[in-house]
Chains A and B, each alone.
Chain A
Amino acid sequence: MTAVTGETAAAARRPSFARRNPTLVVSGGLIGVIIALVVVLPFFLPDPEAIDPVQRLLPPSVDHPMGTDRYGRDLFSRWASAGRVSIGMTLLITVCSVSLGTFIGLVAGYFARVGRVIMRVVDAWMAFPSIILAIVFGVVIGPGMTSELIAVTIIFTPYTARIIRSRVLGLATRTYVKAARVSGLGPWQTLAVHILPSTLPLAVVQCVLLSAGAMLIDGSLSFLGLGISPPTATWGNMVADGRVYLQEHPTMVLFPGLAIALFVFLLNIAGASLRTFVDPRAKLLSAQLRRRGNARRH
C-alpha cells in the first residue's frame, strides 16, 4: 500500500464540500456567474446610452438580443449595465445596514440598560413601511442614490440589530467573556476581541438574506422613479420604461424584471443554505428529522 498522508485519507473518506452543500455551491456559483457577466459584458457591448433614432423600438433580434427602446438604445447593453448599478447598489446597502446593525446589536446586547432603550426604538423602526420611508427620504434629499442608500439602510438595520443582539445576550454570560472582563479588559475591547468574531457568521448570513430584500426594494424604488433615475439604467427603471409599451413590446418589461427575480431567488436559496451551514442548531434539527424519517420507514 502506498503511503497516504493523513490529510488526503481524511479527504477521501469525507465527501467534498460541494457534495455536502450542493445547494450552497450551485446557487453561490450562479450568483458569481451573474455578477461576472454584468461586470464583463458592458466592455464588449455598444454604449448603453447611445441613441439611434433609426432603430427605435425593435423587437429582439440577433443584433439586439433584447431589442431596442424608444430612443433606439440597445436594451441588452442597458440590461448589462443596469445589472452593474442594481447589484452594486444592493451590495452597498447591504454592507452599510449589516455593519450598522451589527454595531447596534453588539452595543444593545452587551450594555443591558442602554440595550433595552435601543431595542424599544428599534422595534418602533420596524413599524415603518419601508417603501414609504424611502419615498419620504426621496423628497427630503431628492431622489437618487444617496436618499435610497440612507433610507434602505435605516429600514434594514433593525433586522440585523435584533438578531445580533440576541446572539450577544447569549455570549455575554459565557465564562470566557467574564474571564476577559475580570482580567481587566475594557468593555469595548471585550466586545471587539471576544464577542464580535462569534457574531460574524450570523452577520454574513444576514448579508446574503438582506441583499435579496435590498434588491427588491431597489427595484421598487427605481420603478416608482425614486431611486437612481434615467439615463442611468437600473433593472427597476428599465421595467418602468417598458411599461408604456407593455402591449406591443412585453419583452421590455420581461427581461429586466426576470433578472431581479432570478438574482433574488438565488440569494434567498444561498442565504437559507448558508444559514443551515452556519447555525449548528438548524443542522441538529434537520438531523433529528432525518433520523425520525428513517425510523418511520423501517
Chain B
Amino acid sequence: MLLVVLRRLRDLVVVLAVVGTFLFFLLRSIPGDPAQVLLGLKASPEQLARLHEELGLTGPLYEQYLHWVGNVLTGDFGTSIKYQAPVLDMIAGHIAPTLTLAIASTVISFLLTVLVIGWVTVSPHSWVARGVNRVAQFGLALPEFWLALLAVYVFALVLGWFPTSGHTPLFADPVTAVPQLVLPVAVLVVGQTAFFTITMEESVLGELTQLYLRTARAKGVTERRIALRHVLPNSMLPVLTTIGLNFASLIGGVVVIESIFVIPGLGTMLLGAVYARDFPLIQGGVMFVAFLFVVVNLLVDLAYSLIDPKVRVS
C-alpha cells in the first residue's frame, strides 16, 4: 500500500517536471517579446523592463528556468498577466465547475456501465448483449462538440426543457444549477459510458473463461448468481483503470463542453489564457491538469488495492 503511494508520488514528480519543463521552453520559444505584445508598441522602456522583471524574463534562458523552478518549488506559480491575480488563486476559482462536470459524468457513466454490463452478463443471449458493442462503438464515435449542439437544439431550443447555457454553483442554488448541468453532463456521459462499456465487456468476456466458474457451476451455483456475484465484480477492476487513463481525454471533452455551454471552469480559463497569451496562467493551468491526472490515477490505484487483495500482496 505504502509502496503504491510512494511509486505514484515519484510519478507525480516526473510528470510535473516533464510537463512543466516542456511548457516552459515551448512558451518561451514564441517569437517576439511577450512583454511588448502585452503592452503594445507604445510602451516605454521602463514599463517594459518592469514587466520583464515581473514575468521573470531577465537574464539568459537557463537562469530564467532555474528561477522558475525555484519559484515553483516554493509554491509560487506566478501571477496571471490578464487578471493580475496569483495563478493558484485563479485555478482555485475555476476548479469547481470543472470538477462538478468531471465527477458527475464519471459517476453516472460508471453506474450506467455496470447496469448495462450487468444485464449483458445475466442474459448473454438477449438483444442488449448482441447490440451493446456496436452501440458503444457508435457512442464513442460521436464528436462531443457536435453532440452538444444537437442536444442544445433538441432539448433546449425545440423542447425547451433545459437552458441552452449558463452555470450556477451547485451548492449555492441547486434548483437553478441542476437543469443547467443536465445537458453538459449528459453529453460527457455518452462518450464515457461507451468507452467504459467496451472495456468492461472485454473484461467480462475474459472473466467468463476462468475455471473457477466451472467449479461454481459444478457445485450448483445458479447462472444468475455466478453472473452477479462473481463475474460482474471481478470485471469492474479494469474499468477503474480506464477511469484513470480516460481522465486526460475527459478533460479535453470538458474544455469543449465548457466553451459550448459557457461554463466558467478550468477549460474556459485555459482557452481564455491562450487567446490572451497569458503565459503564467497557461503554464500553471496545464501543470495543474497534469497534476490532477496523476492524483486521479493514484486514487484509482488505491481503490484497486482496497478492492483486490492480490494487488496489495504483490
Give chain A's interface residues, CB within 8 Å of chain B: 120-121, 123-133, 135-140, 212, 216-217, 219-220, 223-224, 236, 239-240, 242-243, 246-247, 250, 253-254, 256-258, 260-265, 267-269, 272, 285-286, 288-289, 292
Known: A124-B19, A128-B290, A246-B153. A239 touches B146 (CB 8 A): yes
Stretch of B73-81, B84-92, B111-119, B134-142 contacting A (4+ beta carbons < 8 Å): B134-142
User: Interface on chain A toward B: helix, strand, loop, or mixed SS?
Assistant: helix
Complex interface residues of chain B between 190 and 217 (CB less than 8 A to chain A)? 205-206, 208-209
State how many angstroms separate the Cβ of A139 from the closest Cβ of chain B: 5
Question: How far, in angstroms, from A219 to B149 measured CA to CA in the complex?
Answer: 14
Closest 5 CB pairs of A and B: A257-B146, A265-B141, A131-B252, A264-B141, A124-B18
With a cutoff of 8 Å between Cβ atoms, the chain B residues found around residue A260 in the complex are 141, 143, 146
Assess whether B26 is interfacial by the CB under 8 Å rule. yes
With a cutoff of 8 Å between Cβ atoms, the chain A residues found around residue B142 in the complex are 261
Q: Per a CB cutoff under 8 Å, which of A121, A126, A286 touches B248? A: A126
With most chain B CB atoms within 10 A of its CB, the pick from A126, A127, A236 is: A127
State how many angstroms separate the Cβ of A200 from the closest Cβ of chain B: 24
Query: Can you report 23 A-B residue pairs in the complex whose CB atoms are below 8 A from each other?
Result: A120-B14, A124-B14, A124-B19, A124-B290, A126-B245, A128-B19, A129-B249, A129-B255, A129-B286, A130-B248, A130-B249, A135-B270, A136-B274, A136-B286, A139-B30, A140-B26, A239-B145, A239-B146, A242-B149, A261-B141, A264-B140, A267-B141, A269-B134
Assess whether B15 is interfacial by the CB under 8 Å rule. yes
Contact B270 A254, beta carbon cutoff 8 Å: no
Known: A136-B274, A139-B274, A223-B145. A247 touches B286 (CB 8 A): no
Known: A132-B251, A220-B252. A289 touches B140 (CB 8 A): no
Complex interface residues of chain B between 280 and 297 (CB less than 8 A to chain A)? 282, 286, 289-290, 293-294
With a cutoff of 8 Å between Cβ atoms, the chain A residues found around residue B19 in the complex are 124, 127-128
With a cutoff of 8 Å between Cβ atoms, the chain A residues found around residue B141 in the complex are 212, 216, 260-265, 267-268
Contact B209 A131, beta carbon cutoff 8 Å: no
Question: How far, in angstroms, from A132 to B134 measured CA to CA in the complex?
Answer: 30
User: Interface on chain B toward A: helix, strand, loop, or mixed SS?
Assistant: helix
| Interface size classification for chain B | 35 or more
With a cutoff of 8 Å between Cβ atoms, the chain B residues found around residue A264 in the complex are 140-141, 143
Look across to chain A and name the residue whose beta carbon is closest to the beta carbon of B209: A288
Question: How far, in angstroms, from A262 to B143 measured CA to CA in the complex?
Answer: 10
Contact A127 B274, beta carbon cutoff 8 Å: no
With a cutoff of 8 Å between Cβ atoms, the chain A residues found around residue B294 in the complex are 127
Assess whether B177 is interfacial by the CB under 8 Å rule. no
State how many angstroms separate the Cβ of A116 from the closest Cβ of chain B: 12
Complex interface residues of chain B between 129 and 186 (CB less than 8 A to chain A)? 134, 137-138, 140-147, 149-150, 152-153, 157
Known: A250-B153, A292-B208. A125 touches B18 (CB 8 A): yes
What string of 1s and 0s marks CB contacts (under 8 Å) between B1-33 and chain A?
Answer: 000000000010011011100010011011000
State how many angstroms separate the Cβ of A62 from the closest Cβ of chain B: 25
Assess whether B303 is interfacial by the CB under 8 Å rule. no
Contact A289 B209, beta carbon cutoff 8 Å: yes
Question: How far, in angstroms, from A133 to B290 measured CA to CA in the complex?
Answer: 11
Q: Per a CB cutoff under 8 Å, which of A125, A253, A263 touches B149? A: A253
Assess whether B36 is interfacial by the CB under 8 Å rule. no
Question: How far, in angstroms, from A128 to B157 measured CA to CA in the complex?
Answer: 35
Given A139-B277, A257-B146, A257-B150, 5 further pairs, Cβ under 8 A: A123-B15, A130-B248, A253-B153, A261-B142, A272-B137
With a cutoff of 8 Å between Cβ atoms, the chain A residues found around residue B108 in the complex are none
Assess whether B259 is interfacial by the CB under 8 Å rule. yes
Question: How far, in angstroms, from A192 to B290 measured CA to CA in the complex?
Answer: 35
Q: Per a CB cutoff under 8 Å, which of A121, A140, A261, A289 touches B143? A: A261
With a cutoff of 8 Å between Cβ atoms, the chain B residues found around residue A216 in the complex are 141, 143
Known: A127-B19, A264-B141. A224 touches B153 (CB 8 A): no
Contact A121 B256, beta carbon cutoff 8 Å: no
